[in-house]
Amino acid sequence: MKSEIKIEYLQNLRKIIEDIETNNENIKIYDSPQNLSEYLKTMEIGVKLDAFNEIILEEETQIELGGINKYSTSVIYPLSNKNNIQNGQITLIGPEIQEIRENNIDFGQIIIIGGKKISESHYNDFQRLQFISDGIQGFMIRSIPRRFWCRISKDVIKKGFSFNLLGNSIIYLFKKQFPELIEAVEIIFISANELNIKKFEPVISKIREIYKRNWAKKIEEWKERVDCNYDWICDVCPYNETCYNISDIYELRKNIEFD
């Protein structure tokens, strides 16, 4: 039976937001402009695919989202039905960037994407968030296991960087990166409140399980395709860098056999 991320998870997310709103939490709703490309051109902060592969040092950083000492989470929630997605809507639960006084905050991010051509085979492609980091000036995603950790530079915050801008940039970049697949994008940000972030974790965990199953399936299919009989998984395999070049892996295996 084909596994698929359920539409009911979206209803669960909306219910959590309603419950938080009932408690008089700070919630802002932004809507993307009709011409998102033109809107981003008017900003002083650059947004373009693969244009800003920069490293933001600690002394250049104004705010860190998540990280080692803060609670953080991020997930992509893909659906083949876009009808229930509020395309272009950005929901912010918590303070805006300009309202934050700390240098490091708890942070949650849920990116909901929809398109009728989306299938299980695309799930892990959507999880590769680095292209977002490389596409936004003054914004960097740090890569550490089981943590979502971003840095925002002092320079772009002076220019008015906000979660509204970040959300619109993500929407723009996802549609640019996957123009044939993605028809709708909706984003939820949770800033500076670990308790509120944890309210979303039961749903996020269910979404992640789909990714894990599909990734495990991909690994087994790949190992079978290249006739790999090693017991370790690809992530820790000492030959994984060459494995994705078929001619290299065959050459490597020949050398091993003759040693």
- Domains of the chain: total: 2
Same domain, 233 and 137: no
Domain-located, residue 176: yes
Q: With bands split at pLDDT 50, 70 and 90, how would you rate the model's confidence at 148?
A: confident
Does any domain span residue 86? yes
Angstrom distance (rounded) from CA 13 to CA 110? 10
pLDDT (0 to 100) of residue 222:
61
Domain identity same for 51 and 122: yes
* Closest alpha carbon to 79 in 68, 87, 89: 87
Q: Are residues 135 and 160 in the same domain?
A: yes
Do the domain assignments include residue 2? no
Task: Assess whether 121 and 244 both reside in one domain.
Answer: no
pLDDT digits (tens, 9 = 90+) for 179-230: 999 999 999 999 988 999 999 999 999 888 877 766 556 656 665 665 665 5
CA 93 to CA 191: how far, in whole Å?
6
Same domain, 162 and 241: no
Structural domain contains residue 103? yes
Question: Does the residue 3 lie in any domain?
Answer: no
Is 171 inside a domain boundary?
A: yes
Same domain, 54 and 175: yes
Structural domain including 145 reads 8-218
| Residues 55 and 171 placed together within one structural domain of the fold | yes
Q: Are residues 232 and 151 in the same domain?
A: no
212 and 237 fall within a common domain: no
Structure pTM? 0.81
3-state secondary structure string across the chain: CCCCCCCHHHHHHHHHHHHHHHCCCCEEEEECCCCHHHHHHCCCCCECCCCCCCCCCHHHEEEEEECCCCCEEEEEEEECCCCCCCCCEEEEECCCHHHCCCCEECEEEEEEEECCCCCHHHHHHHCCCHHHHCCECCEEEEEECCEEEEEEEHHHHHCCCCHHHHHHHHHHHHHHHCCCCCCEEEEEEEECCHHHHHHHHHHHHHHHHHHHHHHHHHHHHHHHHCCCCCCCCHHHCCCHHHHCCHHHHHHHHHHHHHC
Residue 146 is predicted with a pLDDT of 66
> Is residue 48 situated within a structural domain?
yes
Domain holding 62: CATH number?
3.30.1650.10
- 130 and 47, same structural domain? yes
- Flag whether pLDDT at 242 surpasses 80: no
Residue 97 lies in a domain: yes
Say if residue 93 is in the same domain as residue 201. yes
